Amino acid sequence: MMTPFQSASLEPIPFAHGITTHFLDDPELVCFLDREFNEHKPPAIKVEPLYAFPLAMQRSTSNSSSSSTSTVDTDDDLAAPSHSRRKICAMDGCLRNVRSKGYCKSHGGGKQCSMDGCAKEAQNGQFCIGHGGGKCCKVPNCSNAAQSQGLCKAHGGGARCKFNGCEKSSQGGGFCRTHGGGKRCVEPGCTKGAQRGNKCAKHGGCRTCTVGDCVRTDRGGGFCELHRKDKLCIAPGCKRLRKSMGMCTPHVREWRAVRGCGDVMLGLKTEALSLSIH
């Protein structure tokens, strides 16, 4: 006789492993994952091999070990790994470190300036320092390029003179021109700073104007005071020579910092610009 519990109970459902497929067996899903990976994969990182100098000595298991089985490395063996870790510029005779494309920044490595015909390296954007690239000095109304700590050389950026109490910028060798920094005149007994041709102005280190037969002194950029007037920056009151876009380098840098590089189109003629720089 069946009990009420037995009559109300259901037949047990036999356990059977259902037929399931792995998600990688779905071709559409695999294509989707491959596409997502290719679109969002991180940039490839080149892992440089790690070099470790071997132990200078190996413990001997017996006092009878001979010098022929010594594991002490020679100087040549120890120096070999250090050379392979440093990549040298592919230019013949250049020992500078590689910036990119197998070359240092002086021979075309790194990002090149976007100005036509310029082979210098771009600084903080699309242009080199000479064409208005780099960051402006953080001192208000100063458009000079920042050297360090956000300041230009005139406001304390860059290396300073090592002479006690001097705040001028270093011009070479750790000192300013007043305290012996930079190149000196090659004339015997002269200690003045060299300007051009390794000589001071007194000994012929100044150049003459490059316009025709003009013999006036070069006041910058290869022009005398008379012939540089029509080549000045278009910014009101500026006495510098124009570099690009009709402006000098500091004013180009200031313009790009305010308006952004997107508003400056390469190849734009100066005559088409309507600028008002205060």
With respect to residue 236, please indicate whether it lies within any of the assigned structural domains: yes
Summarised one tens digit per residue, pLDDT across range 90-106 is 888 888 888 777 888 77
- pTM reported for the whole predicted model: 0.41
Give 50-57's long-range contacts (Cβ < 8 A, gap of 24+).
51/81, 51/82, 51/84, 51/85, 53/78, 53/81
3-state secondary structure of 73: coil
- At which residue do the structure tokens 């070359």 appear? 103
> If pLDDT is split at 50, 70 and 90, which confidence band does 189 have?
confident
Burial-class residue 257 by CB neighbours within 10 Å (0-12, 13-18, 19+): middle
Q: Which residues of 101-115 are buried (b: 16+ CB within 10 A; e: fewer)?
A: eebbbebbbbebbbb
Contact predicate 129/144, CB 8 Å:
no
pLDDT at 246: 83
> Is 217 inside any structural domain?
yes
| pLDDT confidence bin for 65, thresholds 50/70/90 | very low
Query: Quick check: is 241 in a domain?
Result: yes
pLDDT tens digits along 137-174: 888 878 788 877 888 888 888 888 888 888 888 887 78
Tokens for 276?
């008002």
- Whether the per-residue pLDDT at 23 is higher than 60: the answer is no
- The pLDDT score that the predictor gives to residue 121 is 77
- Structurally, the chain folds into a number of domains equal to 1
What is the average per-residue pLDDT within 21-49? 53
Average pLDDT, the chain: 69
**What's the CA gap between 244 and 235, in Å, rounded?**
12
Average pLDDT over residues 110-134: 77
Confidence of residue 35 (pLDDT cuts 50, 70, 90): low
Q: Does 170 reside within a domain? A: no
pLDDT above 80: residue 46: no
Report if residue 220 sits inside a domain: yes
Tell me if 4 is assigned to some domain.
no
Q: Is residue 221 part of a domain?
A: yes
Residue 241: give the domain boundaries: 207-256
DSSP state of 219: -
Contacts of residue 243, defined as CB under 8 A and 6 or more positions apart, other chains included, come to 130, 131, 132, 249, 252
For residue 72, the model assigns a pLDDT of: 42
163 in any annotated domain: no
